Amino acid sequence: MLAYVLIGLEQADEKEIMQKLSKLSEVKETHILFGEWDLIIKIEAETTDALGNFVMDHIRQFKGIKLSTTLICAK
């Protein structure tokens, strides 16, 4: 299962958070964005439950991240 997560940061260093996120095995790509969102990451997970657990346990608990939106790819 493939998903993208849009991430909004608090007053934090985008590059530092991007580097830390890229070390997580589920994270396949990380990119800094301009506009409403600060980062986008590409995630691969086995199931929707695994994806949800990863986002809740890792992404949302990450220091410096204030909000996120997960986009699950249909195909």
**For the segment 39-57, what is each residue's pLDDT rounded down to a tens digit?**
999 999 999 999 999 999 9
Pairing label, strands 2-9, 39-44: antiparallel
- As a whole number of Å, the CA-based R_g of the chain is 11
Nearest to 67, CA basis, from 16, 3, 7, 17:
7
Q: What is the CATH number of the domain that holds 41?
A: 3.30.70.920
Give the model's confidence band at 75: pLDDT under 50 very low, under 70 low, under 90 confident, else very high. confident
User: Where does residue 63 fall: left (phi above 0), alpha (psi -120 to 50 degrees), or beta otherwise?
Assistant: beta
Q: What is the mean pLDDT of residues 25-38?
A: 96
Q: Which CA distances in Å does 21 have to 5, 7, 12, 74? A: 11, 11, 14, 24
Pairing label, strands 65-72, 2-9: antiparallel
Q: What's the domain count of the chain?
A: 1
Name the residue range of residue 8's domain.
2-72
pLDDT number for residue 20? 92
